Amino acid sequence: MRGYTLLDTARTPDGVELSLCERGPELVIRAHGIDLMSNRMHGSEAQMAALARCPREGARVLVGGLGMGYTARAALDLLPAGGSVTVCELVPAVVDWNRVRLGHLAGHPLRDPRLSLVVGDVAALLRDTPGAWDSILLDVDNGPRAFTEEANAKLYASGGLGVTLRALRGGGAVAYWSAFEDREFARRLARAGFRAEEHKVRARGVNRGPWHWVYVGRG
Assess contact for 177 and 210: CB atoms under 8 A: no
For the chain, the domain total comes to: 1
pLDDT at 151 over 70: no
Dist. CA 21–CA 18, nearest whole Å: 10
pLDDT at 144 over 70: yes
Q: Is residue 116 part of a domain?
A: yes
Give the pLDDT mean for 165-179: 95
pLDDT band at 180 (very low <50, low <70, confident <90, very high): confident
Range of the domain at 208: 41-218
Q: Is residue 135 part of a domain?
A: yes
Phi, then psi, of 118 in degrees rounded to 5: -120, 125
User: Structure pTM?
Assistant: 0.93
**b/e per residue 46-64 (b: at least 16 CB within 10 A):** bbbbebbbbebeebbbbbb
CATH number at residue 154: 3.40.50.150
Give the pLDDT mean for 20-38: 90
Q: Is residue 214 part of a domain?
A: yes
Assess contact for 74 and 48: CB atoms under 8 A: yes
Q: Is residue 5 part of a domain?
A: no
